[in-house]
Amino acid sequence: MAAAIAAADKWRPGFCLPRSKKAGHGRGRSCIVVTSSVSPIPTVLVAGAGGRTGRLVFDKLKQRTQEFSARGLVRSVESKQKINGGDDVFIGDITKPESLSDAFAGGIDALVILTSAVPKIKPGFDPSKGGRPEFYFEDGAFPEQVDWLGQKTQIDTAKSAGVKQIVLVGSMGGTDENHPLNSLGNGKILIWKRKAEEYLSESGIPYTIIRAGGLLDKEGGVRELLVGKNDELLKTDTKSLPRSDVAEVCIQALLFEEAKNKAFDLASKPEGEGAATRDFKSLFSQVSTKF
């Protein structure tokens, strides 16, 4: 009987077996309902899918249809058109919970947050004259609004929706209030990012916080990745990594329990030094920090 159930379960959740003559039954069939052992494919929402790193995460998930069902969240029609994700891409304002309802409709298993405020150079800067450019943030797009309140809104929405894991991509440098990035446009961007990371770590939702180093537009999957804590990697010569590697780590974090409820800095050795990282379970196992 056990063997028959196992064989039938491979084909459908409900089936009928012949009645056993030894048990004294007459001819006919007994129906047994068996729940399929195949787990449903998790749905992953990528917030910030229109960004350079976010789009890589979205594309990688789309390529792994046997493992994930991908959705994207962008802030404009233009971003949606660039991604070309069709009905799987939603438009929403992360500072307005009501605009996120469609993206979360029907249930989301995991959320990957890659949203970030982006400083812009003030008009009139001429690099040929030397000097340093001045930066500003557009109205409604300051780090406090995007990196703190916007991420808080996403975390709260995810919690209400029963999301099982959140992967949040931040930046190294958050332990230093005087970090140069905080002075750009007087936005204090790393301070607000750090505040959102702490909020997530205390939310009760299983999480993975990835504080990436300097992002490179280079080939991924060919470098040895490094994890650290408290900005220790910033004091070394290995404080950057390709965006594609950050994207891959986001996806791998969804696959291993060793990545849950952890926060770490992420960088890589220069290309050609060391062996390309393939064992992500071991990489995550090196991390012991919760925040």
Active centre residues (catalytic): 171
Q: Which helix (H) or strand (E) holds 3?
A: helix 2-9
d(CA 225, CA 96): 36
d(CA 217, CA 201): 29
Q: Which amino acid is at 107?
A: G
Q: How far is CA 94 from CA 82, 98, 180, in A?
A: 19, 9, 26
Answer for the pair 59, 34: CB distance below 8 angstroms, yes or no.
Answer: no
Q: Is 121 helix (H, G, I), strand (E, B) or coil?
A: strand
Nearest to 69 by CA among 96, 39, 91: 39
Pairing of strands 225-228, 262-268: antiparallel
| All residues at 6 or more sequence positions from 22 whose CB lies less than 8 Å from its CB, including other chains | none
Q: How far is CA 162 from CA 39, 166, 223, 257, 258, in A?
A: 18, 11, 36, 18, 21
d(CA 104, CA 100): 7
